[in-house]
Amino acid sequence: GAVVSQHPSWVICKSGTSVKIECRSLDFQATTMFWYRQFPKQSLMLMATSNEGSKATYEQGVEKDKFLINHASLTLSTLTVTSAHPEDSSFYICSAPLTVNSPLHFGNGTRLTVT
Amino acid sequence: DQQVKQNSPSLSVQEGRISILNCDYTNSMFDYFLWYKKYPAEGPTFLISISSIKDKNEDGRFTVFLNKSAKHLSLHIVPSQPGDSAVYFCAASVYGLTGGGNKLTFGTGTQLKVEL
């Protein structure tokens, strides 16, 4: 069964609005979660590392003020796309390791479409 | 700069035959490699991994081979089944960096189709 749950699975929003995506670890604690983005026919690109109780670490080129990450508990990380624009339309996927050095388990992703 | 490359966007194989998916990398710091399988509208599912201290790892029908000198790895699926039809992503990381092999760099994926 799924060990990482992501919600919503898809969302359509108007340009200029904000969208929040939730990522939950099921039956395990995730001090670290990872947010990826995938554009059509491209690979999954790491956007940021979400750290429980501290600030997220963003990859080069990812705007931290646009992609707000909150990891307030050991089982929940949220990604908020603020003032979304059509170019933010993408597939956003979160992931977490069961243990520190174990392979990542991914959520089912969120398809964001900004009109 | 694509550090992990999967040069074949698609592969078609007959059921029962071997599927070989290839992956090349450029960053010599990578020492941990993984293969993920992805169905449409789902997140990737972990398949198998290999550390750079090995050149082969086997798990059931899946075997991963690593050639460090060539910076090349491959995934073999034998025998291939229709349920194996999916997109396969190769991923790499620097295992000793920041908490293990969690910070993954992915390839662009290969769409495998196993035909009856």
> Average pLDDT by consecutive 10-residue portion of chain A (115 residues)?
89 97 93 92 90 90 95 93 96 90 89 96
Q: Which residues of chain B are within 8 Å of residue A45 when distances are taken between CB atoms? A: 106
Tell me the pLDDT band of B115, cut-offs 50, 70 and 90.
very high
Select the residue of B49, B98, B108 nearest A103 (Cβ to Cβ): B49
Q: What percent of chain B has pLDDT over 90?
A: 84
Across chain B, mean pLDDT equals 92
CB < 8 Å from A in window 69-88 of B: none
Query: Token pair of A9, please?
Result: 């699975």
Q: Cβ–Cβ contacts within 10 Å for residue A8, how many?
A: 12
**What's the confidence (pLDDT) of residue A100?**
73
Given this model, what pLDDT does residue A102 score? 82
Query: Tens of pLDDT along B56-81?
Result: 999 999 999 999 999 999 999 999 99
Contact B45 A101 (CB under 8 A): no
The residue with greater pLDDT, B24 or A53, is B24
**Beta-carbon count within 10 A of A38 CB:** 22
What is the DSSP annotation of B35-102? EEEE-TTS--EEEEEEETT-SEEEETTEEEEEETTTTEEEEEESS--GGG-EEEEEEEE-TTSSSSTT
Which pLDDT tens digit goes with each residue over B83-95?
999 999 999 998 7
| B93-108 pLDDT, tens digit each | 987 655 545 789 999 9
Average pLDDT over residues B6-17: 96
pLDDT value of position B98: 55
